[in-house]
Each structure stands twice: as C-alpha cells, then as structure tokens.
Amino acid sequence: MAVTAKSVEETCEAAKRASRRLASAPTSTKDAALAAIARLLGERSAEILEANAADLADERATGLTEALRDRLTLSAERIAAMADGVRAVAALDDPIGEELDRKTLESGLKLCKVRVPLGVVAVVYEARPNVTIDCAALTIKSGNAIVLRGSSYAERSNGALAAVVREALAEVGLPEDAALVVAGGGRDELAELATQEGTVDLLIPRGGEGLKNALKEVATVSVIYAAAGNCHVYVHADADLEMARRIAYNAKVQRPGVCNAAETLLVDAAVAAEFLPGVLADLHAAGVELVGDERTRELAGGVEVGTATDADWGTEYLDLKMVVGIVDSLEEAVDHINDHGTSHSEAIVTSSADASERFAAGVDAAVVYTNASTRFTDGFEFGMGAEIGNSTQKLHARGPIGLRELTTYKYVVQGDGQVRG
C-alpha cells in the first residue's frame, strides 16, 4: 500500500526532495518510467481489481449514488484504458527544456526563455481512481513530483495504483517519493495540505463547489480549480434537429457522472414544438429525470417533466437528471449560460456560421462547441494523452490541464563580463 503514514508536512517535504531529482531527469528515463507503469498495470490488474472490489464493498461507499459508484468502479477494460493513456503521454513531446524565446539584449546578454517543471503538484480528488494514474503520468513526464489525496472510499484502489507508479519509478532509478499519497482525512488535513508553502507549488482540487469553497477559505498555496461542470447544450433555431437530438442525448446520457456531461438543455422557441417531444422521450427512456420551465412542460408530449426550481438551473447533478428550458433568442441563451454556467464546456447546435461565431464569442467558458457533444472536453480526446483536471478559471491554465499546463519557465542569460552601469 502506497498510502504513507507520514504527516502531510513530511510527505510534502519528501515530494519536494524528489522533485529536484525528477526535474533534471532525461526524457528517456521519464518515458521508461511511463512504459513501466503501463506494463505493471497489466501485470497487477488482479490486485488492483481486488482492492477496488474491497472499496466498493466497504460501508463508506454504500451511500454513493449509482453515478458515483460508476466513477469508483474499475474493470479490466478501464485498467487497460489507463495503460493506453500512460503510453499516449509517453509518446508526447517532452515540454521540459522547450525554448520559448531567444534574443540578444542591447547589453550583449543572450537571453533564452525555457520551459521548466513547477516542482510539487498536489491533487485533491474524489471517486475516480483512474485520476491517480492520469495525474502521475502527466507529472512524471513534465518533471514534477505529485502528492495525491483521494477520497477515503477509494483508499485501497488509489493505494494499489500508486504502488504501481512507485514501483515503476524505482525500476528506472527515479525517486519513489515523486509519487506520494496522503490519506483522505478530514477538513483539517485538507487545510494542512493547502497551506504547505515552500513545498507544494500548485494545488489542483477536482471536485464540486463545496470542495472549491472549502479551499478558498484556507489555501495559501497557488490553486487551479478543476471545479464543477454545469454544462449546457443550446439548440438554435437553425439547428439540424436530428443532429441536435443525438448531441443532447450523448451529452447527458453517455456518462452522466462526469464534469463534462450536460446538465441543462436550452431550446430555441422557434423549434421547441418540433424538437422537444422526441428528445424528451429519448432522455426519459434512458432513465433521465426531467425538470423544466412551464413552456417545456406544455410541449413535453406526454413525457413526465417536473417543475424546475431556481436552484435547478445552477446545479451540477452528476447523475441522470436534466433541466430543460426554452429561450427566445441566441442572446437569451448566452445570457442564461453566463448567469448559471461554471465556465466549463458549452455547446450550440446550429447550421448558421454567424450564430456559431456569436455564441463562441459571447459564452464565457473554457471550451465552446458547435455541433458536438460537451463530452469531448477531455485531455485524452484533445490529444494531451490524459489530463490532471479541467480548469474553469483563466490563470494560468484553462480547460484540460495537460503537460504544458504543469510547467512554468525561467530565463537563462549568458554574458561575457557585462555589468550594469
């Protein structure tokens, strides 16, 4: 088991020491570690599944919703997908040492701006054990050490996966402490992790608004919030309605317990009577609980649609529930999304290039889609190999957090005796 008995402070200090060695590791060694992780995931699959089964059977997991249990559940196929993701990260260019700028100053100094690791990245996350591997792969490739704090109900799964990472690091001569896990604990332990100035260079919480708000109260280290995804699909008056039907269904149903699933469907009044009965029937047949405004309920065509409350429009359900509303214009849709969304992923379905451009320009979100499901907001889908989270803020990263988002830069200056007068 890779969950450490050390204090949070001791764990972060160990990670800091390991980060200094990892920062200068050659690409070939880091890639060898990733290859070892992918191989060991296959070799240790039975042990990982046994640990996961114990987590699922534990009383701490009995109160989880079906969507959260799905996020917690591992299978041979999901472990194989993790290994594929690690190999994809290994195949990417190493960002460390990348030259961002070079110039000679008036003083004759030669200035070069190069990409370097952040140092120690801490990640706080909830039910998904695959996050352990995704985060470790990205931090190893980008030369960072990682401190992982998963949820208590995934403790065995996360420990088994972190043990694989540590074994792989040791196998290629890199420090095992470049990947460390701290036990879930409570709010005090979370606050301790969020205040490790001098050791933790960046904290990334993956969770809902409750986690985000708890950290805002106490964090003294830099934080990128990979927070809630209250995502929308807007069906414009010029939409291909069959396309819109497929996209709305996929965005909600394909995997409802993730942050890029759509929680709200907005339909232009011009096509609502034609569009809503069919898509609502599709969603209802898939087990989606539907709530909506008065105009939506009037056009439901016999499908049961409850009355939407004010709170529904701002809720990330992470489950088979969706709120549906009718708007009278693209501008109204944009205003609604900006008022209720979380700046994650938003989609318009339209055949109008003008409408697409106005929607993309008007919506404040990390990712804006035209004629595609919000479910594509994902580091793997974006060619990043994996992601450490999806940032819903603007500094210093936005959208999927991949290798380059886990770096900073330094200026390397070469002189030949210059002094400043």
Mean pLDDT on 17-21? 98
Per residue in 327-356, pLDDT tens?
A: 999 999 999 999 999 999 999 999 999 999
Q: What is the pLDDT of residue 49?
A: 98
Per-residue pLDDT band for 226 (boundaries 50, 70, 90) equals confident
Q: What is the pLDDT of residue 185?
A: 64
Q: Picking from 16-25, 191-200, 319-328, 392-401, which range would have the lowest pLDDT averaged per residue?
A: 392-401
Phi then psi for 85, rounded to 5 degrees? -65, -40
Strand partners, 103: 111
Per residue in 229-261, pLDDT tens?
A: 999 999 999 999 999 999 999 999 999 988 999
Per-residue pLDDT band for 1 (boundaries 50, 70, 90) equals very low
Q: Which CATH superfamily is domain 8-226+388-414 in?
A: Aldehyde Dehydrogenase; Chain A, domain 1 (3.40.605.10)
Q: Which CATH superfamily is domain 231-376 in?
A: Aldehyde Dehydrogenase; Chain A, domain 2 (3.40.309.10)
What does DSSP assign to residue 314? G
Per residue in 31-84, pLDDT tens?
A: 999 999 999 999 999 999 999 999 999 988 888 888 788 889 999 999 999 999
Tell me which amino acid residue 130 is. Answer: N
Domain segments of the chain as ranges: 8-226+388-414, 231-376
pLDDT above 70 for 89? yes
Please give the distance of CA 301 from its chain centroid, rounded to a whole number. Answer: 37
CA distance linking residue 99 with residue 208, whole number of Å: 37
Per residue in 140-152, pLDDT tens?
A: 999 999 999 998 8
Q: Calculate the alpha carbon distances from 362 to 236, 260, 274, 371 in Å.
A: 14, 20, 27, 17
Structure tokens at 137: 């792969």
Are the beta carbons of 29 and 133 closer than 8 angstroms?
A: no
Mean pLDDT on 287-309? 97
